[in-house]
Amino acid sequence: MLLIALLLSLLDQSMAPNRILNPTSTTLNPGDPRSNQFDDLKGANWRVFAVNSAPDRAVVITQVEEVRQQNPPSTWGVYVGNADIAPVVSLTVAAAIVDATGKVRATQNLPAIKNLKPQQVVRKEIPIRVTVLVPTDRIVFYVREVKSESVDWKSVDSEVAGLIKQVAAKYPVP
């Protein structure tokens, strides 16, 4: 009996600890998913990135990408999600073409996204046709307009230009 108890206690100690994530806990462990919330946007680099033009809104850009094709030019992809509990009636995302210094050269709107359900993420892809891209140009995505049941919101171009300059400094042109 003593031998069985000893074996069971040793077996219990050799098992990995069972971690329960508590969303209300204020202490973060190294593997806690909440510690990744301030990391860079997935897919962001010097060539393509996004700015949070609506920081207090529930619409977020979760990922950006350059979709390289066999025949140039590339197209550009963006993933937009609704982090709110209410649906978004209409949403417009814009792609800004930015030069090496961070100055906006042109802006192109993506087709409007309609009826974005809560917790839904949508991927949109766009070819840039507004201007000819120089090799040092960058594509920056931002939320331009949101229409929902509770509020209608539109970004201010001068504020977005300032945000773009800040983030462009973070990703210098090589």
Mean pLDDT across 57-64: 85
Residue 19 lies in a domain: no
- pLDDT of 34 > 60? The answer is no
Mean pLDDT across 31-49: 68
Residue 112 lies in a domain: yes
Domain that holds residue 144: 39-170
CA atoms of 26 and 140, how far apart (whole Å):
34
CA atoms of 165 and 157, how far apart (whole Å):
12
Mean pLDDT across 146-158: 86
- pLDDT of 84 > 70? The answer is yes
Residue 4 lies in a domain: no
% residues pLDDT > 90 (the chain): 28
- pLDDT of 89 > 80? The answer is yes
Tell me the pLDDT band of 16, cut-offs 50, 70 and 90.
Answer: low
- Give me the chain's average pLDDT, please: 81
Residue 20 lies in a domain: no
pLDDT attached to residue 39: 53
The strand pairing partners of 122, in sequence order, are: 80
Residue 146 lies in a domain: yes
Residue 8 lies in a domain: no
Residue 86 lies in a domain: yes
Total domains in the chain come to 1
CATH number at residue 79: 2.60.40
% residues pLDDT > 70 (the chain): 81
Residue 21 lies in a domain: no
Written in H, E and C, the secondary structure of 70-92 is: CCCCCEEEEEEEECCCCCEEEEE
- The answer to whether the beta carbons of residues 116 and 149 sit under 8 Å apart is no
pLDDT attached to residue 25: 63
Mean pLDDT across 2-14: 70
Q: How far is CA 48 from the centre of its chain?
A: 12
